[in-house]
Amino acid sequence: MKKITVIGAGLTGLTIAYLLRDKGYEVTVLEKDSKVGGAIQTHVANGYVFEEGPNTGVVSNPEVAELFDMLGLKIEEANRNAEKRLILKNGRWHPLPSGAVSFLKTPLFSAADKAKMMFEPFQKKGADPDESVASLAARRIGQSFVDYAVNPFISGIYAGDPEKLVTRYALPKLYRLEQDYGSFIKGSIQKSKIKKTARDLKATRKVFSVAGGLGGLIYALQNGVGAQNIVCDITDVSINKNGDEGYCVAYHRNGRQVLYKSDVVITTVGAYVLPEILPFISLEDMDAITDLRYAKIVQVAVGVKKNVLNNRFCSFGGLIPQKENRRLLGVLFPSYCFSQRVPEDCSVLAVYMGGIRHPEIFDWSDERLKKTVEAELSDLFGINERGIDFIHIFRHRHAIPQYEKSSGKRFEAINKIEEENKGLIVAGNLRNGIGMADRIKQAFDIVASF
Ligand SMILES: Cc1cc2nc3c(=O)[nH]c(=O)nc-3n(C[C@H](O)[C@H](O)[C@H](O)COP(=O)(O)OP(=O)(O)OC[C@H]3O[C@@H](n4cnc5c(N)ncnc54)[C@H](O)[C@@H]3O)c2cc1C
C-alpha cells in the first residue's frame, strides 16, 4: 500500500486525505498553521457566527453532495430569497433581473443593450481563445451589461478584473456555451433539454453552508482524516526525489527535523509556496507557475444590534460595480441567508474590500478600514455607527488566484512536472477552479486515479 503525503490542510488537502483514507491508504497531512481549514475559518462570539473566509459555496457539481453524504453532514441551503442579488447603480440598490420581464424593466442596463440581448442567439461566435470575460460580454450583449452585471459578478467571485480574466480559464462553462452552441441563450435552452442522470441532479446549484458555519465541514473532514494523521505547526517542508523510488519529505517541528519516505506527494498550497517545497523543479517550469497573480482581499465581519435586513435588503447581498467608485466591492448578508447566526433581532454582514480593483486597501490601518466600513454602511444601508456591535477585520494576502492569460502556460508546466515526476501531484486552486465546489471536485478527480 502506498504511503501518501498531502501538503496543506485546507479544503483541498483535507478532502483528498479524507477520500484516500476512505480507500484505505496511509496518508499524512502536513500543515504550517496551528489549525486546519486554510481559508475556511468560522468564528463564534457573543452569539454571532461569522466567517473569516468564504461564507457560502454552490452545489455546482455532484461531488459536493456526495462528500456531505459520505461525511454524514447536512448541507444548510440558503433561504430561498437569497437567490436575489442587489447591484448598486447611481447610489441605489436594484435587484439583478431574474427573468424576461424584470430584465426589460431593470434600470441597470441600457435600452440598446436590452434590444441587443434579443439578437444574442444570432451573434457570431468569438474566434480569440484568449478573449477576456469583459470583451466576450460586451461583444455579445453590450457595455452596460459589462458595467452592471459582469463587473460586479466578477468582483464577487474573483475580486478580479473582467478585462484581464480569460473566459476559457476563468468561466469555462460560459466559454463552452458560446463555442459549443454558438450562443449563451441557445446553449442554456439546449442544455436544459438534455436528460439528466440521477447523479447530475445532485448538482442543485443551491447556495450552501453548514449549520453553525463552514467550519463544520472542516471539523467533519478533520475527524474523517483522523487527527493523528494531520501534523500542524510545521516549517521548512521540502520534497526531494528519492531516486526512482518516490520522494524524501523533510520538515521541522518543535525545533526538530523530521525526514521520511513517501511514494506519493500531493501539494495543495498556493503557487508562490511551491519553489521552496519543490526545489528540484526547473526554474523555467516554476516561473510559469509563480506567474499567477492573486487578488488581496480585506474581509470585514460586522455585527449589527438590529435586524437591518428589512424588505429592501432581503437578499444574498449587494455587489458594487467599479463605475460606482466606492471603497467596497460588496456586502453579503449571511444572517439573512442562514438561520441561527445572530442573537435575536441582530444582523451579521460580510463586507469585502480591496481585490484587484483596490490592492492598496490591503495595507490600510485597522482604524482607517473601520472608519471606511462605518461610513459606507451608513451611506449604503443606513446603518448607524452606534448600532454596530463589533467589527472584525481579516486580511487575505493571497485570497483568489486570477485565471488570466498566463494560465495556459501554468497548466502546461504543471502537466509537464507531473509527467516527469511520477507520484507528484500539484493540486489546489492554482488550477481546476477557485470555488469550494471546484476544490471538492478536484479532490474526487485526483483520488479516482488511485
Ligand atoms: C476571502 C475569501 C472569500 C472566499 N469566498 C468564497 C465563496 O464565497 N465561495 C467559494 O466557493 N469559495 C470562496 N473562496 C475560495 C475558497 O475559500 C477556496 O477555494 C478554498 O477554501 C481553498 O482551499 P485550498 O485547500 O485549496 O487552499 P487553502 O485554504 O489556502 O489551504 C492551503 C493550506 O496550505 C497551508 N500551507 C501553505 N503553505 C504551506 C507550507 N509551506 N507547508 C505546509 N502547509 C502550507 C495553508 O496554511 C493552508 O492551510 C474564498 C476565499 C477567500 C480567501
Give the pLDDT band of residue 242 (cuts 50, 70, 90): confident
Candidate of 153, 206, 272, 429 to mutate for ligand 1, largest count of ligand atoms within 8 Å of Cβ: 429
Q: Which residues line ligand 1 (CB under 6 A)?
A: 7-13, 30-33, 38-40, 53-57, 234, 237, 268-269, 273, 277, 297, 299, 396, 399-400, 428-429, 434-436, 439
Candidate of 439, 440, 441, 446 to mutate for ligand 1, largest count of ligand atoms within 8 Å of Cβ: 439
Q: Which atom of ligand 1 is nearest to the CA of 33?
A: 47
Cell of 250: 523533510
Cell of 182: 454558438
State the average pLDDT over residues 150-157.
96
Q: For ligand 1, atom 10, which residue shows the shortest CA distance? A: 435
C-alpha distances in Å from residue 322, one per residue of 95, 161, 294, 399:
17, 10, 19, 19
Residue 247 pLDDT = 97
Q: Is the pLDDT of residue 448 over 90?
A: yes
Question: How remote is the CA of residue 353 from the centroid of ligand 1, in Å?
Answer: 18
User: How far is 158 from 170, CA to CA, in rounded Å?
Assistant: 9
Q: Tens digits of per-residue pLDDT, 193-222?
A: 999 999 999 999 999 999 999 999 999 999
Cβ atoms of residues 338 and 79 within 8 Å: yes
C-alpha distances in Å from residue 251, one per residue of 7, 233, 239, 256, 274:
11, 10, 9, 8, 14
Q: For ligand 1, atom 48, which residue shows the shortest CA distance? A: 38
Q: What percent of the chain has pLDDT over 90?
A: 93
CB-CB neighbours of 6 under 10 Å: 31
Closest CA to 390 of 376, 378, 374, 379: 374
Q: Is the pLDDT of residue 170 over 80?
A: yes
Residue 309 pLDDT = 75
Question: How remote is the CA of residue 221 from the centroid of ligand 1, in Å?
Answer: 15
Cell of 265: 506527494
State the average pLDDT over residues 115-122.
93
Candidate of 436, 440, 446 to mutate for ligand 1, largest count of ligand atoms within 8 Å of Cβ: 436
Closest CA to 433 of 441, 425, 444: 441
Cβ atoms of residues 273 and 376 within 8 Å: no
In three-state form (DSSP H/G/I as H, E/B as E, the rest C), the secondary structure along the chain is CCEEEEECCCHHHHHHHHHHHHCCCEEEEECCCCCCCCCCCEEEECCEEEECCCCCEECCCHHHHHHHHHHCCCCEECCHHHHCEEEEECCEEEECCCCHHHHHHCCCCCHHHHHHHHCHHHCCCCCCCCCEHHHHHHHHCCHHHHHHHHHHHHHHHHCCCCCCCEHHHHCHHHHHHHHHHCCHHHHHHHHHHCCCCCCHHHCCCCEEECCCCCHHHHHHHHHHHCHHHEECCCEEEEEEECCCCCEEEEEEECCEEEEEEECEEEECCCHHHHHHHCCCCCHHHHHHHHCCCEEEEEEEEEEECCCCCCHHHCCCEEECCHHHCCCEEEEECHHHHCCCCCCCCCEEEEEEEECCCCHHHHHCCHHHHHHHHHHHHHHHHCCCHHHEEEEEEEEEEEEEECCCCCHHHHHHHHHHHHHHCCCEEECCCCCCCCCHHHHHHHHHHHHHCC
State the average pLDDT over residues 372-390.
93
> Which residue carries 478584473 as its cell?
161
Give the pLDDT band of residue 268 (cuts 50, 70, 90): very high
Q: Which atom of ligand 1 is nearest to the CA of 52?
A: 1
Cβ atoms of residues 28 and 231 within 8 Å: yes
Candidate of 5, 12, 356 to mutate for ligand 1, largest count of ligand atoms within 8 Å of Cβ: 12
Looking at every residue in the chain, the average pLDDT score rounds to: 96
Give the pLDDT band of residue 438 (cuts 50, 70, 90): very high
Cβ atoms of residues 58 and 207 within 8 Å: yes
Give the pLDDT band of residue 121 (cuts 50, 70, 90): very high
Q: Tens digits of per-residue pLDDT, 22-51?
A: 999 999 999 999 999 999 999 999 999 999
Minimum mean pLDDT range among 272-281, 346-355, 376-385: 376-385
Cell of 48: 454571532
Cell of 376: 459606507
Q: Is the pLDDT of residue 1 over 90?
A: no
**Domains of the chain, CATH where assigned:** 3-34+214-292+403-448 (3.50.50.60), 109-193 (1.10.3110.10), 294-401 (3.90.660.20)
